[in-house]
Each structure stands twice: as C-alpha cells, then as structure tokens.
Chain A
Amino acid sequence: MAQQIVAELAANVWKVLVAEGSPVAAGDTLVILESMKMEIPVEAETAGTVSKLAVSEGGVLQEGDLIAEIS
C-alpha cells in the first residue's frame, strides 16, 4: 500500500528534492513548499521508494492535493 503525501495547505512548490524512483528514509525532505513568505519542508513519514511524484517546481497546490506516493 503506497503512502500518499498530500499538501497540508495551499502553497507554491519551491523546490523538489527527489525524483520518481528515489529511495527515501523516514524524515527525508521530499519537497519544500512556499506559502506566505514561509518555507515549509514536506518529509517522508516512512522509508521506501518514491513511486509517484505529482508536483514540479513552480507548481501551485491546494490543500489536500497529492504531492508524492511512497511505496
């Protein structure tokens, strides 16, 4: 079962630090969002592989939008 990482808030995608297929450990930063002049790192909750990456730098996210899947 893939773990879905979704946006906690409306934000812009500032930096993407992983690619599809990247191995990640729990706590690794996947992407950095930017909202209201704040940088918000989004981390992997569990170890695994990035099986889907749904965002790219400069993109706009609404609350609840999918960022990545880890399996």
Chain B
Amino acid sequence: MIESLLVANRGEIARRVIATARRLGVRTVAVHSDVDAELPFVREADEAVPLGPAAPAESYRNAEKILAAAESTGARAIHPGYGFLSENADFARRVHAAGLTWVGPDPDVIDLMGDKIRARNAAAAAGMPVAPGTTEPVADEAAAVSAAAGIGYPIMVKAAAGGGGMGLAVATTEEELRKHVRTVRGFAERMFGDAGILLERYYPEARHVEVQLLGLADGTVTALGERNCSVQRRNQKLVEETPAHGLDPGLRERMIAAAIQVGKAVGYRSAGTVECLVHGEPGEQDYVFLEMNTRLQVEHPVTEAVWGLDLVEQQLRIASGLPPSVDLAALRPRGHAVEFRVNAEDPIRFLPGPGSITEWNEPAGEGVRIDAGYAHGTTVTPSYDSLMAKLIVHADTREAALARARAALESFTISGPKHNLPFHGELLDEPSFAAGTYTTAVLTRMRAARGA
C-alpha cells in the first residue's frame, strides 16, 4: 500500500479522502488556498501546505504548486478528488513523470473520455448505444444544419471539451441551431480553449442513470450497480439514488454489461462512471451513452452505502497494485440509498449565497451519513462551487430511506450562508419523486407548480 498521499482538492471530498487514508495508516498531506485555511480538511490531514490566493489557477488548479508541495512533504501519491485537476491528463502525466503514483486511470484514457466526440465514438465501438449525432467536430453553421436533418430536432449543441453542465444548449429549430452553434463555439473557445462542438439528439423527458465502474489492478473491470441522478438544475445534479427506480426489466442489466465493455475496451483502471440517458415511456425505455467521468464522482457515497465498501480505499489499493479489500464477485447490494447535496444557494432561484457559518448542526443516527466540507465558525467563500455537505441516507427500502431523509433534513440546521435544505424538503413531497418515476424535468415541474 502507498505510504503517503497528497490530496489535491478541498472541502468535503478532500476531507473524505483524508479520512479513508488515515484509517488505512497512510500519511496525508492537504493543500489549501488562503481562504480555506480554517476548513476541517486542513486540520484533519497530517500535514498541510498553503498554496496561496483563492483563485483556482493560483491554488487547486496550479500543477507546479501542487507538485512542489508533494516534493517538499515527501508525499508519494496524489489523489485528485473531482473537479480541479482530476480530469487533466497533462497533470496526471506530470505526476507520473515526477515518479509519483497517480490515483486514477491512465492519462490517455482521461484524454479520450475528455473529448466528447472521441468518447462517444469509443462507446459506440464498444457496443453501447449512442444518440443520433455527429461523429466528428462540426465545422460551421452550414454543416450543423445539414447534419441536423439526419438527427432530428430537438438537438443538443455540446462543446466537445465541456463538462460540469457548461457549454450546452438545446435547439428546437434551424434558427436556434444556427444561433447556438455560434454561441457554444465562442463559449467553448473562451472557456476550454477548444472550439470543437458536436450535435446530439436531445431527450427532454429522460432519466440520468450512470454505472459505477471499478477497473482493478489485474486489468479486470467490474461494475457496482447504477445511480439515478435525474434531479438537476442547470444540468448539475442535486439528488442521486441507487438503485435506479422504475427501469424496464432487463434495461439495467444491459446498461451495466455495456458499461463494463466500454471500460474494458479503453483499459480502464480505478473508479470511473459511465453516464447514460434513459428515454421513452415505461415499457418502451431505451438508453444512450452520455459521457464517461474518469474520476471519483460526488455521488459515490450512495454506491458505498448499498455495497458496503469504501470506494476511496479501493482506489488507493488499485493505485498500489493490490486486489480489492473484499471479493467483489461475492458482494451483493443491500437496500436503498439517497444523497442530497446541501449547497450554499437559495432554494428557489438556486443563486449562490456564500457567508460565514454561525450555526451548523448535522443530523446523525442509523443509516445517516454526512460528508461535510465546512463546520460551525468556517466561511463559505464565493471562490469555489456551492457544495457545503452531502446528506446520505440508507435503509432497506426506498420508502424507509426517504422517511429517514425527511427526519434528517428536519434536524439539519444551518445559519449564515443561504442553503437549499428547504428545497430538499419540497422535493420529498413532489409526487413523481415520491413515486420514483421522475425525469430530468422534475425541477421545471416543481417551479410550474409553485407558479414561479
């Protein structure tokens, strides 16, 4: 097993990775920006290295500073968490070049899956269905319009290098398509330094279902079930659950088998996720590949809850060339788990609301897990994303898990920053969520019901 680990991230995920590493006797190094110096992950690491100003380019996205911190502390491995440098293949290559262990997949696989066009083609080649769409970058408006004739509206215009719900636009007419091709190209060039775009058929009433893969040190690829992540705002997830409820018989099995084939085809190692869209009415459901995330996901704890294992521990073991901590073939999922993202944002418009935390009381109890990046007396700054904590509930059935969630949400109190706990309470009352039949349109429906 690796003996020391630098966690190149912040907040709840840094804290969560550090907790597992410490439990396994691995020496931990945190890195942090000036504004994060008081956060729990900094205190809980064996050592902490300040990186400088808050701006990500000067701290958590700064490869030089992070590699220098590894060198000065003698850390021999780097866990990137999610976001920041986690899907930056050049950084992974530099970690390798420095003689350190990268806790993640091969850099070439990160590159492949980071390009939405190449990723789509790789998934199709491995036998996973893909949405009708373009198989190479779309050169201009005219090319988009002619490709659209073969795809059919509505069409999603996507930045090939996009991610995190950014660089996406839906066109229902040729006029909108022309406009979005111009704006998404411009945005992609500015944001990602790559103007490449692709077109794909858009499914307005779909479910976002993803498969958790684990590529082992011996080269085998296995899956740990699926997650339904259809509660989203601005194409970003708010609530995730496993197992996915209300899928047609056989669909889950087909999706998981195909995801494993995708993982095998690209030689995937470590934890990764194949995201799919399930579309069609019950009884006529089908699915298509969406993208692959070559890192640990925010929502990984629901998988940990039902499978009863620690995914970060498996990542560290795989990176060390060790077999998993348990016999995965003998493992069976138990019960149902749901994660609620507790964000520093208002519960109606979802606008950010940073601030100093004057009150923070977490729920606790059987089947309740909190992964929090903040605590009483710390400050949520505007510099990073709005995720403050994740509430994960686990019980034998979905109904019991949701009842547990309701009680936990009621006893969770936060003062200072704005927060979306009231939104989660409303979601539990939303009929399609309660029934488990909801799609990615559930928030639009809630807003309409509210008359806002």
Chain A residues with CB under 8 Å of chain B are 8-12, 34-38, 40, 60
Q: Is B386 an interface residue (CB 8 A)?
A: yes
Interface: B351 (CB within 8 A): yes
* Set B351, B353, B355, B384: member contacting A37, Cβ < 8 A: B384
Chain B residues near A38: list those with CB within 8 A.
351-352, 386
Evaluate contact between B355 and A36: CB separation under 8 angstroms.
no
Majority secondary structure of chain B interface residues (helix, strand, loop or mixed): loop
Q: Which residues, 329 to 377 on B, are CB-close (under 8 Å) to A?
A: 344-345, 351-355
Let me know if A9 and B384 touch, CB within 8 A: no
In whole angstroms, what is the CA distance A60 to B354 when docked?
13
Nearest 5 A-B pairs (CB), nearest first? A36-B352, A35-B382, A36-B386, A35-B352, A37-B385
CB-CB under 8 A from B352, the residues of chain A are 9, 11, 35-36, 38, 40
> Can you sample 17 A-B contacts with CB below 8 Å?
A9-B352, A9-B353, A10-B355, A10-B381, A11-B352, A12-B383, A35-B382, A36-B345, A36-B382, A36-B385, A36-B386, A37-B164, A37-B384, A37-B385, A37-B386, A38-B386, A60-B382
CB-CB < 8 A to B344: which residues of A?
Answer: 36
A9 contacts B351, CB within 8 Å?
yes
Question: How far apart are the CA atoms of A12 and B351 in the complex, in Å?
Answer: 14
Minimum CB–CB distance for A67 against chain B, Å: 15
5 extra interface residue pairs, beta carbon distance < 8 Å, beyond A11-B352, A35-B382, A36-B345: A9-B351, A36-B354, A36-B385, A37-B386, A40-B352
Nearest chain A CB to B376 CB, angstrom units: 19
Is the Cβ of B354 less than 8 Å from the Cβ of A9? Answer: yes
Max chain B C-beta neighbours (<10 A), residue from A8, A35, A36: A36
CA distance A18 to B354 in the complex (A): 26
A10 to B355, CA, bound (A): 8
Residue of A nearest to B164 (CB): A37
Chain B residue, CB-CB nearest to A34 = B382
Which residue of the partner chain B has the closest CB to A12? B382
Question: Chain B residues with Cβ under 8 A from A12's Cβ?
Answer: 382-383
Separation of A48 and B279 alpha carbons in the complex (Å): 49
Mark contacts of B134-173 with chain A using CB atoms, 8 A cut-off: 1 yes-contact digit, 0 otherwise.
0000000000000000000000000000001000000000
Residue of B352, B381, B383 with highest tally of chain A CB at under 10 A: B352
Partner of B351, one of A8, A34, A60: A8
Name the distance in Å between B349's Cβ and chain A's nearest Cβ.
Answer: 10
